[in-house]
Amino acid sequence: MASDAQKTVPVIPGGVYVVEKEIGKGSFAVVYRGHFARDAHRQIAIKAVSRSKLKNRKLLENLEVEIAILKKIKHPHIVGLVDCERTGTDFYLIMEYCALGDLTFLIKKRKELVKNHPLLRKVFEKYPPPNENRNGLHSAFILNYLQQLACSLKFLRSKNLVHRDIKPQNLLLSTPLLDYTDPASFHKLGYIGIYNLPILKIADFGFARFLPSSSLAETLCGSPLYMAPEILNYQKYNAKADLWSVGTVLYEMCCGHPPFKASNHLELFKKIKRANNVINFPEYFTTGDTQLDEDLKSLICQLLTFDPQDRTSFDTFFDNKLVNMDLSCYELVDDISVELENRSKDIRESNMFISEYLPTAHKHDHRTALPQQQITPTAAEVAAKGNVKTNPTKPVRTPSLLATDKRMVRPTVQHKTQSTNSDLMLEKEYVVIEKKTVEINELADEIAHIGTADTATTAINVNNAVRGSPVANRPLERTPKVQRSPKHAASRRASSVDRRVSISSLNPSNALSRALGIASTRLFGTTGGHSGIPDSLAKSPHEQAPRSLLSAQLFQDLTENIVLKTEEAQQGEPSAENGIIKDRDTIVHFLELLAAKAFVVYSYAEVKFAQIVPLQGELNKRLSTGSCAVEEEECDDTIDDGLRNRANGQRRSNSRSSSNLMQLNTDLVMNEGSALVCKEAITLYLKSLELLGYSMQITSNWWYNSNENVCSLRLNLLVQWVRERFNECLEKAEFLRLKLFECDNEGMGKAETVHTTEAQDHQPTQEDKDNEVFVEKLLYDRALEISKSAAKMELNGDNLNGCELSYATSIWMLQTALDNESSASLLDEQDRKVIKKYINSIRNRLQSLRQKLSRNS
């Protein structure tokens, strides 16, 4: 790992500012400490955002919004923007520097800070937590930050601003007692609260925008754990959403963790709803000395009210007794105050950021210094990655994946392990994933929404293209173009400025129903009977049952037809200049190619998944004949009988809602064998995610960079398919990670046990290496296995169409294994030669089979 000193820092043109050192990382930015070139004592924070991370116009807009807002507002409890520099490659926001980091440090790192931070040691001595073993803060801190937060929100309201991303990470703390020494001078400067405590300032206006109090926004943003339920439920929301977030922050300051945790939006929403406005506080707050103040509890409950209409209003909140309480009783007497002042000055002199006071091991745990040694991208990183073009197949090694698993673990597990580091990582990664998912879903929605179809001709072509049994070399027809109506053409680009993220797209089942809606209303018109499509598909998207079998069939057939186009595997990818494809036909070709690869990898992941996860009733039924990659795989001998029995005969529905996952398998028990299968499944899902994420990146580049306002139906279907698979793979990969982590916690799965969160510097042993799972190897072995069994079947004259699909599948698998040509690839030249030879020989078999099939037909 690069040491701090080795890390390069950017140089800001103009010479006015000097960048010193990285101090934090967000989803889209790196934050550095720095100073004015002319005055080394004038410290600043520099938020660097690479333009390459903002290819999506929405992100760029968010940043420009942040700049515009921050420039306009000046408030003692809001982090000030000093300046903004733009270069061809980056944005640099020069901001007020907050040496005590963000509120998460106080909440989650208190113990380490007490040991190592001279100022905070003294502060915590004077304001000890209610429970030494928990992460909650002293009520002086809570009331102080409540008042400071309320004060800044009042200011924002006066400017018609909603922050929309209030969370502890965005509440920064500056060193107290610098440039003032007493309560009077403190208040004169406009500050409120307790003068000798660190000062809270709201930061990160990336999501904020001007929003009149009565208007409703349609933008999904913020961090899920702190998001209001109406946002999680994709409803319109108003400024009161910020009040919910204030409630979550207050709760976290009291209890050390957010009030509700879950693995995804949907689960989180359900939990909040199920709570039925009953907010649970830890037991130690309900009895004895550590009882939580009733007024504070009541305020938290008012803020955490499910229905925004019943939630406390801003006026009532601002009038709340605690918000207006005189806190001078908490102020420290003179001699201690002088001591604190001296320590504050020392902090400024030492020029050390809060994380630098933490022990090295812990520093790297904090998301402000993400571990650099990851070999494998996490699901989030894979998902967030847009530059896969040159290297779409980094070998996916599970052990490192496991090392990062700890950052993705789910709340229940964190609770069990008391891993606050995981908490921090969870929140961070969660947001990254959500952002990428949001982007993908948004693009798919935007494409889904355009224009009206020429329904008469489209219906015929689509039927031809995607239905019926796979026939050798049958070309897929390009469907007629879907023309954007003038109204939509005009509104498309404006809509994304206005509606940065589409709410309706985020629910996977919603995604499918929307895609089906398109399929029904656009392809088949409203008279399904005419096109041979059942009425269920001909209804409007609102009326129809969203998961009709035929619809899943449509997607499945679409994919299988693509998989059968094996000649494309040979031709390789069409050229994309700087990741940008200009014409529509090439983009369709490109997507088909990536979809074929993603599909075979995904299908194999599904096989593994079915071996691990017990399926229930209806869900077991497969809706399609499926690719041969989904054919049952021999169970590993090491998997226990129960699992084997469950795996046998279990067939997954490709369209099964993955949101059922959490409910599905509460009784899932893992042993070493199943842990290995689990790792393999994760590896395959990650690979699939990489390919799907790349597909959407390329589509996004094309869509936003071209002046196209027309989208072919085929492209539209492909995009919907990619989106559907992306959401599914992401959820399943995360689900399996959780399972592995639980297994790890219970001491099962040898490979996992060594990769504890604390073992950041752990050197892999030979055993670790032996347990590594490589995607290339998995695909290679599987491809040979299915092509061999297809050859046997072919010799017996069994299921020739199935054999065709098997050969095609194995060619795509081998091609995918070959994709990564970088030095990071597991394969050397010799391996590549062997794989290419296999591809040629399977291709020859396929050709002769196809001739046989066409003679038979």
Ligand X SMILES: Nc1ncnc2c1ncn2[C@@H]1O[C@H](COP(=O)(O)OP(=O)(O)OP(=O)(O)O)[C@@H](O)[C@H]1O
- Annotated binding site, which residues? 47
101 is a contact residue toward ligand X (CB under 6 A): yes
Range in contact with ligand X (rule: CB under 6 A) among 169-177, 278-286, 499-507, 588-596: 169-177
Single residue of 56, 139, 152, 170 touching ligand X by CB under 6 A:
170
Give least dist CB 46 to ligand X, A: 9
Give least dist CB 313 to ligand X, A: 27
Q: Identify which of residues 28 and 524 has a Cβ nearer to ligand X in the complex.
A: 28
Binding mask 275-314 for ligand X (x = CB under 6 A): ----------------------------------------
Q: What does residue 120 show for φ and ψ, rounded to 5 degrees? A: -70, -25
CB-count exposure of residue 690 (10 Å: 0-12, 13-18, 19+): buried
26 is a contact residue toward ligand X (CB under 6 A): yes
Give least dist CB 227 to ligand X, A: 12
Q: Identify which of residues 85 and 640 has a Cβ nearer to ligand X in the complex.
A: 85
| Residue 165 a catalytic site member | yes
Query: What SS3 class is residue 41?
Result: strand
Look-up: residue for tokens 């309320």? Answer: 150
Single residue of 66, 90, 102, 560 touching ligand X by CB under 6 A:
102
Q: 102, 165, 365, 744: which one is catalytic?
A: 165
Give least dist CB 533 to ligand X, A: 44
List the interface residues with ligand X, window 339-368 (CB under 6 A): 368
Written as six digits, the tokens of 642 are 């129960």
According to DSSP, the residues that pair with 201 across neighbouring strands are: 172
> How many CB atoms lie under 10 A from the CB of residue 823?
7
Range in contact with ligand X (rule: CB under 6 A) among 18-26, 327-335, 501-509, 703-711: 18-26
431 is a contact residue toward ligand X (CB under 6 A): yes
Q: Identify which of residues 97 and 260 has a Cβ nearer to ligand X in the complex.
A: 97
Rounded to whole angstroms, how far apart are CA atoms 638 and 318?
62
Binding mask 510-539 for ligand X (x = CB under 6 A): ------------------------------
Q: Which residues are annotated as a binding site for ATP?
A: 47
Q: Identify which of residues 31 and 717 has a Cβ nearer to ligand X in the complex.
A: 31
24 is a contact residue toward ligand X (CB under 6 A): yes
Q: Identify which of residues 29 and 564 has a Cβ nearer to ligand X in the complex.
A: 29
204 is a contact residue toward ligand X (CB under 6 A): yes
Written as six digits, the tokens of 270 are 């359900």
Alpha-carbon separation of residue 319 from 146, 151, 313 (angstroms)? 12, 11, 10
734 is a contact residue toward ligand X (CB under 6 A): no
Give least dist CB 387 to ligand X, A: 19
Give least dist CB 93 to ligand X, A: 9
Q: Identify which of residues 96 and 640 has a Cβ nearer to ligand X in the complex.
A: 96
Single residue of 95, 382, 424, 842 touching ligand X by CB under 6 A:
95
811 is a contact residue toward ligand X (CB under 6 A): no
Range in contact with ligand X (rule: CB under 6 A) among 203-211, 615-623, 649-657, 780-788: 203-211
Q: Identify which of residues 352 and 460 has a Cβ nearer to ligand X in the complex.
A: 352
Amino acid at position 452, single letter: T
Range in contact with ligand X (rule: CB under 6 A) among 93-101, 241-249, 545-553, 763-771: 93-101
Tally of CA atoms within 13 A in the half-sphere of 321 that contains its CB: 8
Give least dist CB 467 to ligand X, A: 44
Range in contact with ligand X (rule: CB under 6 A) among 19-27, 333-341, 473-481, 486-494: 19-27
Rounded to whole angstroms, how far apart are CA atoms 251 and 296?
9
Q: Identify which of residues 433 and 773 has a Cβ nearer to ligand X in the complex.
A: 433
172 is a contact residue toward ligand X (CB under 6 A): yes
Look-up: residue for tokens 């689900």? Answer: 735
812 is a contact residue toward ligand X (CB under 6 A): no
Residues near 141 by beta carbon (within 8 Å), at least 6 away in sequence: 106, 127, 197, 253
Rounded to whole angstroms, how far apart are CA atoms 334 and 352?
26
Give least dist CB 314 to ligand X, A: 23
Question: What kind and span of H or E run contains 172?
Answer: strand 171-174
Q: What does residue 742 show for φ and ψ, rounded to 5 degrees? A: -60, -40
Q: Identify which of residues 105 and 251 has a Cβ nearer to ligand X in the complex.
A: 105
Binding mask 61-80 for ligand X (x = CB under 6 A): ------------------x-
29 is a contact residue toward ligand X (CB under 6 A): yes
Alpha-carbon separation of residue 4 from 7, 350, 369, 426, 471 (angstroms)? 5, 17, 9, 24, 59
Question: What's CA 216's distance to the chain center, in Å?
Answer: 25
Closest C-alpha among 506, 451, 402 to residue 713 = 451
98 is a contact residue toward ligand X (CB under 6 A): yes
Range in contact with ligand X (rule: CB under 6 A) among 124-132, 165-173, 343-351, 548-556: 165-173
End-to-end CA distance of the chain: 61
According to DSSP, the residues that pair with 482 across neighbouring strands are: 711
Q: What crossing angle do the helices spanning 549-564 and 455-466 adopt, rounded to 10°? A: 60
433 is a contact residue toward ligand X (CB under 6 A): no
Check: CB of residue 509 under 8 Å from CB of residue 659.
yes
Give least dist CB 211 to ligand X, A: 19
The string of DSSP codes covering 546-608 is TT-HHHHHHHHHHHHHHHH-THHHHH-PPP-BTTB--SHHHHHHHHHHHHHHHHHHHHHHHHH
203 is a contact residue toward ligand X (CB under 6 A): yes
Look-up: residue for tokens 């229930």? Answer: 616
Alpha-carbon separation of residue 3 from 6, 142, 367, 763 (angstroms)? 5, 36, 16, 17
169 is a contact residue toward ligand X (CB under 6 A): yes
Query: What is the size of the binding site for ligand X (CB under 6 A)?
Result: 25
Question: What's CA 725's distance to the chain center, in Å?
Answer: 15
97 is a contact residue toward ligand X (CB under 6 A): yes
Closest C-alpha among 807, 833, 808 to residue 818 = 833
Binding mask 660-689 for ligand X (x = CB under 6 A): ------------------------------
Check: CB of residue 420 under 8 Å from CB of residue 108.
yes
45 is a contact residue toward ligand X (CB under 6 A): yes
Q: What single DSSP character describes residue 369?
A: G
Rounded to whole angstroms, how far apart are CA atoms 81 and 75?
11
Rounded to whole angstroms, how far apart are CA atoms 692 and 727?
10
Site of interaction with ligand X (CB under 6 A):
23-29, 31, 45, 47, 79, 95-98, 101-102, 169-170, 172, 203-204, 206, 368, 431
Catalytic annotation, residues:
165
